[in-house]
Structure 1
């Protein structure tokens, strides 16, 4: 349903710009027989519940006023923060995560593993470099971006 996502993005972007928020992601998914339109927003320092409500009300009002209805089926609208372990999906997300502790999952094993956590030290169009713990030492590993299945911010323990 990328047309719903594209439509919602064009509607929500000006709302977010007005308040200096950023769009983290949009999902339109069917779960357990119900449709959910999820809009994830953020800002430096984190987003508040009141800010989510503000965006939800403004977006709902704009969607309800559109004719023809861009989302003909019934759905639940959820506007929330992407959370402390937000996914890293695009170049801007990775750039904002430089120096941060992240989690990556690979399509194929590298150094005998498919999952790594460490500090994102460098990034270019084709690779990213993590500083990972290896027992009591730290080592630097470089990964092909095309080989990364998932990436997200992580909490270091």
Structure 2
């Protein structure tokens, strides 16, 4: 996590805790000539625009006080969306039974990208049930080899 993201996490966490919300992810990225600070928040029943606006206002005040970012930037506070990233152990645990997409740092059984139903997670291994043509197969992915993971929208 970048220094900016770490500082923003420390600033936004008390705000989210106070509102009963969860921090999903923070991105601090340059796109073209502009910098963007994106804070993704959620809760069990989903997040609405008013909650995003309130968090944005409260976080903006804290950022103005602490001033941890040297560049001009755009602050965006939003839901992680339907393809929510899976970052923490609890994200994987909550995603059991759901369709997920995983990229790995190195090939597992000759592949680096997998999409399927997350059937098991124990903190060491992520198990997916994937479809290969007309049959199903279980794939065990070592958790430390997961580069990216997210929920995947299924159109089947």
Deviation readout 1:84-110 (Å, 9 max, x if unpaired): 111112212212211211011223333
Structure 2: runs of 5+ lacking an equivalent: none
**Structure-2 separation of matches of 1:71 and 1:110:** 39
Equivalenced residues, count: 155
Q: Deviations over 1:32-52 (max 9, x none)?
A: 122111100011132111211
Pair 1:85-2:73 in alignment:
no
1:61 aligned counterpart, secondary structure: helix
Equivalent residue for 1:153, pick from 144, 151, 154: 151
122-131 vs 110-119, greater mean Cα deviation = 110-119
Q: Deviations over 1:38-72 (max 9, x none)?
A: 100011132111211111011112222x15x2223
User: How far apart, in 1, do the equivalents of 2:35 and 2:140 lie?
Assistant: 39
User: Which residue of structure 1 aligns with residue 96 of structure 2?
Assistant: 98
**TM-score normalized by structure 2?**
0.90
- Where has structure 1 moved over 4 Å in runs of 4 or more? none
Counterpart of 2:118 in structure 1 is 120
Contiguous gaps of at least 5 residues in structure 1: none
* 1:19 corresponds to 2:30: no
* TM-score, length-scaled by structure 1: 0.89
User: Per the alignment, in what secondary structure is the counterpart of residue 83 of structure 1?
Assistant: coil
Q: Quickly say closer, same or farther: Cα 1:109–1:73, change in 2 above 3 A.
A: closer
> Which of 134, 137, 148 is matched with 2:135 structurally?
137
